[in-house]
Amino acid sequence: MKKLLLFVFLPIFAVSGFSYWYIPRKIKTILRQKLNKVVATRGFKLNKLDISLGWNSIELEDIELQGENLRITIKEIKVDTYQLTSILPLKIKLGKITLNNTGIKGDIKELKHKSSNFKTPTYSGGSISWNKIALNGLWLNISSKQGKIVCEDGNGQFTKKEGGEIQLENVALDSRLIPVYFINTLNLEISPDRKVKRATMKELTWNLSKKMKLYTGYVELEPDKNQNISFLVTGKILPELGKIKTHGNWNHSSGKLSGKVLLSNLKPGSFLPEVLPLPKKENIQIDSSFKFVFSPKLVSIKGTGSVDKLRIYHKLISTLPLEFKKLNSKFALSYDRNQDKLQIENLEIEHKFARALVKGKITNLKSKKPMVATWIEIPKIHCNRLKDSIPAGLIPHLSQFKLAGSLHSKIRAKVNFADISKKTIELGGSIPIENCNVLKAPPYFRSSRIKKDFDFEIIEPGGQSIVVEVSRYSDWFAPLDQISKYMVKAVLTTEDSRFWRHRGYIPSEFSSALARNLEAGKFKWGASSITMQIVKNVFLKRRKTIARKLEELFLTSYIEKNISKSRLMEIYLNIVELGPDIYGVTKAAMHYFGKSSANLSVREAIFLASILPSPKKRYRYYCRGKLSSFWKRHLKYLLGVMKRRKHITEEEYQQAMEEELQFDHFNFRGKHNCYRKIRKYTGN
C-alpha cells in the first residue's frame, strides 16, 4: 500500500516542486533577459531591477535604464495577471502591463538601435507575449542639440490590435526649431504598428517676439502612408493682437509645405522693426487670407488682404504723415530659390477710388545689389477721384483743388544696383498729368497770381527770411526784353535746353536724376526744369521730399497751361538765386560785374548760369576775385556747347574765349567777411 501511495503521489510532489521552484525562477530569468535585450536594442543598459512574482501577478520595481547621456527610471511595473500557456518550452501570456511613475532625464545625442520596427524577441528557453500596456505618471526632462523638453505628467495605453494613445500635460519647450514654449495638452494617437496616426495639441503658447506671443487653442497633425502630414492650427495672438487659422500639408520626403492661412484683426505693430517709418504702428490692423507653398526649390504666396489705419512718416517722403484708412490688396508672389528670383506675378493695391496694378521681378536678391524690374499701371480714373485717393500728407497743398478730366498711367522701371548709371537705368511710360484740368484752385496757388506783380518769401538754410518781389516797381526787376539775350541762352545751355518746346518737364531727365541719386545714396537731384524751379520757389518750400516733387510736377503742368513761356522765362530770370541774398539777374549783374542785366557779355552770362544750382557754394570765386583753372575749363566747355547749339556765333564765341572776367569789388569788405556771408546764409 505504501509503495502504491508513493508511486502515485511522488510524481505529483515532483511536479509541484518543479512548479514551485523552477517555473517562477524561469519566469524571472526570461523577464530579465527580455528586458536586457529590448533596452540593448535601444542603446541602454539595465542597471537595476527587482522582480516579485505572485500567483496571479508580477511586479517589477525600481527599474533603472542607463544610456549614453540619458537615464530612464520606472518606479513600478505591474502585470495584473499572467498565464502559462506552455511549460516546455515555457511560454507566458501577460495581462495588462502598467508602468507607474516613469521618468526620462538627460541629453539625447543619438539613440542607437538595430531596428526601427521593434519586435518582441523569442528565446530558446521560453517567450513572453502581451497585449495591453498602460502608462501612468510619466515625466520628462530631456535636452538635445535642438533644445529642451520638460513634462510634468503623462499617461497612455496601447493594445496590439487597436493601438493606443499617449497624453502629456504641461509640456514646456525650449527649441531652436520652433518658437513654441508651452503646450498644455499633447495627445498622440498610436496605430497597432506603433506609428503616430494623429497628434493633437491644445493651448499652445508661441514666443514670436519679446512683446508678442501666439496662443493657439488647437493644433492637429495627421501623417499618412506617403509621408504627408496634414495640420490644422487655430489660435489668437497675445495680448489681443489678432486671430489666426491655418491648415495644410507637409511632405517629409519632398520637404514641401503647403496650405492656407486666415489672419483676422492682426495688429503687427509690436513686432515690426523700429527702423520702419511707421508712427503709431500699434494701430495698424491686417486681415488677410492667402495660400502658400514652401518647397526646396520654390516659395509661392497668393491671396488677398487689407490693412487698416496704416500711418507712414519719413522726412524724405513728406513733412506730414501719410494716413491710409484702409488699403485692400490682391497678390501673387513666387520666389525661385535656385535662380534667386522674386517674381511679382500680380499685385493689386486699392485705396479709396484708386487702384495700382504692379508686376515685376527682383533677381540676385541674396546679394546687396539686386536687379529690379517693375511695371506699374493706374487704370483710367477721374482726376478728382485720384486726388481724393492719395493721402493728404503726400499732396498737402492740392487737397483743395477741384479737377476735371481723367488719367490712365503706365510706368516701367529697371535698375541694376550692381551697375548704376544713366545707361543701365531704364525709366519709361507716362503719367499724363496734363489730362487733369484745374476747375478751382486756392488763391495762393492760382496761376493768375503770377501773371501780374507778386512776391514770395524764401527761408534760407541759415534761417533768414527774404522777400523776393517780381514787380515793375521793384528796383531789381527787369522785363525780359531788358535782359541780355546771352543770359537767356546761357540758362538754356545749363538749366533747360528744351524750355521752349516741352510742357513743363522732360521725362527722360528723370532717369538721369534717378541714377545720380542712387549713386550718391541720397535725394540730391530732381531733374527740375525752369518751370519746376519757379513752382518750387514761388509756391512750395525748398524741402527735398517726394511729396514736394509730386506737387511740383502737378503745379508745373497747371502753370504751363496758363502762363506763356516768355512770362515764365521773365519770372525765372528775376527770381533765380545767384549768390547769398542775391536773387534775380539784375541784382547779380550789378553785384558781380557792376553793370545792368541788359549789358551782360557772353562770358559773364555763362558764368552766372554756371554757378547754378549751387550759387552760395560757388560764390567763393567772387570772394577770391578770380576763377580756378578748373572752372575756367568748365566755362570753356559751356561756351563750346553754346556755339554747337547755335546760341552764339563763331565771332561771339571767340570774343568770349578771349575775355577775362573782372569782378566788381566796389562794395567788397574783404575775404573774411565774404566767406562769413556764405556761412551765414548756408547755416554752416
The whole-number pLDDT of residue 218 equals: 77
CA 544 to chain centre: 25
Angle (CA) 204-207-209 rounded to 5° is 150
Residue with cell string 547621456: 69
Residue 514 to residue 374: CA distance in whole angstroms = 15
- Which three cell numbers, joined as nine digits, stand for 447? 496761376
Q: What residues contact residue 474 under an 8 Å CB cut-off, 6+ apart? A: none
Q: What is the band of 509 on the pLDDT scale with cuts at 50, 70, 90?
A: low
Q: What is the pLDDT of residues 59-101, one digit of tens each?
A: 878 888 887 778 888 888 888 787 777 766 767 777 788 888 8
Instruction: Answer yes or no: is pLDDT of 13 > 50.
Output: no
What is the pLDDT averaged over residues 674-679? Answer: 92
Q: Flag the least confident range among 75-84, 242-251, 552-561.
A: 75-84
Residue 13 to residue 6: CA distance in whole angstroms = 10
What is the pLDDT averaged over residues 607-625? Answer: 94
Helix or strand or coil: residue 672?
helix
Q: What is the band of 171 on the pLDDT scale with cuts at 50, 70, 90?
A: confident
Q: Rounded to the nearest 5°, which phi and psi values hold at 117?
A: -100, 95
CA 286 to chain centre: 15
Parallel, antiparallel, or unpaired for β 465-470 and 426-430?
unpaired
Contact assessment for residue 190 and residue 163, using Cβ atoms and an 8 Å cutoff? yes
Residue 420 to residue 362: CA distance in whole angstroms = 15
Residue 8 to residue 4: CA distance in whole angstroms = 6
Residue 390 to residue 320: CA distance in whole angstroms = 13
Residue 163 to residue 178: CA distance in whole angstroms = 29
- Which three cell numbers, joined as nine digits, stand for 187? 495627445
Centre a 10 Å sphere on the Cβ of residue 441 and count the other Cβ atoms it contains. Answer: 19
Residue 599 to residue 271: CA distance in whole angstroms = 66
Residue 201 to residue 245: CA distance in whole angstroms = 14
Please give the torsion angle defined by the CA atoms of residues 246, 250, 255 and 260, in that order, rounded to the nearest 10 degrees. -30
Q: What is the band of 12 on the pLDDT scale with cuts at 50, 70, 90?
A: very low
Instruction: Answer yes or no: is pLDDT of 512 > 80.
Output: no
Residue with cell string 542603446: 43
Centre a 10 Å sphere on the Cβ of residue 112 and count the other Cβ atoms it contains. Answer: 12
DSSP element (H, E) containing 260: strand 256-266
DSSP secondary structure, 576-642, as one string: -B-STT-BSHHHHHHHHHSS-GGG--HHHHHHHHHTTT-HHHHTHHHHHTS--HHHHHHHHHHHHHH
Q: What is the pLDDT of residues 207-243, one digit of tens each?
A: 766 666 777 777 787 777 777 778 888 888 777 778 8
Q: What is the pLDDT of residues 520-548, one digit of tens each?
A: 555 555 568 899 999 999 999 877 888 88
Residue 349 to residue 367: CA distance in whole angstroms = 28
Share the mean pLDDT of the chain.
84
Residue type, 244: I
Residue 448 to residue 655: CA distance in whole angstroms = 42
CA-based torsion, 386, 390, 396, 400: positive or negative: positive
Q: Residues, the chain, total?
A: 684
Q: What is the radius of gyration, based on Cα positions, of the chain? A: 43
Q: What is the band of 516 on the pLDDT scale with cuts at 50, 70, 90?
A: low
More confident residue, 524 or 379: 379
Q: What is the band of 385 on the pLDDT scale with cuts at 50, 70, 90?
A: very high
Q: What residues contact residue 650 under an 8 Å CB cut-off, 6+ apart? A: 643
Q: What is the band of 117 on the pLDDT scale with cuts at 50, 70, 90?
A: very low
Q: What is the pLDDT of residues 320-359, one digit of tens each?
A: 899 998 999 999 999 999 999 999 999 999 999 999 999 9
Instruction: Answer yes or no: is pLDDT of 133 > 70.
Output: yes
Residue 569 to residue 450: CA distance in whole angstroms = 12
Q: Rounded to the nearest 5°, which phi and psi values hold at 124?
A: -65, -25
Residue 355 to residue 378: CA distance in whole angstroms = 6
The whole-number pLDDT of residue 467 equals: 93
Residue 574 to residue 482: CA distance in whole angstroms = 11
The whole-number pLDDT of residue 508 equals: 64
Enumerate helices (H) and strands (E) in the chain, giving the number of each. Answer: 15, 28
What is the pLDDT averaged over residues 433-455? Answer: 94
- Which three cell numbers, joined as nine digits, stand for 263? 489672419
Residue with cell string 477721374: 382
The whole-number pLDDT of residue 343 equals: 94
The whole-number pLDDT of residue 97 equals: 80
What is the pLDDT averaged over residues 582-591? Answer: 96
Residue 170 to residue 65: CA distance in whole angstroms = 25
DSSP state of 436: P
The whole-number pLDDT of residue 612 equals: 92
What is the pLDDT averaged over residues 9-22? Answer: 47
Residue with cell string 541784382: 587
Residue 70 to residue 49: CA distance in whole angstroms = 17
Contacts 24+ apart (CB under 8 A), 253-256: 253/227, 254/295, 254/296, 255/295, 255/296, 256/293, 256/294, 256/295, 256/296
Q: What is the band of 621 on the pLDDT scale with cuts at 50, 70, 90?
A: very high
DSSP element (H, E) containing 476: none
Please give the torsion angle defined by the CA atoms of residues 569, 574, 578 and 583, in that order, rounded to the nearest 10 degrees. -150
Residue with cell string 567777411: 673
Residue 661 to residue 658: CA distance in whole angstroms = 10
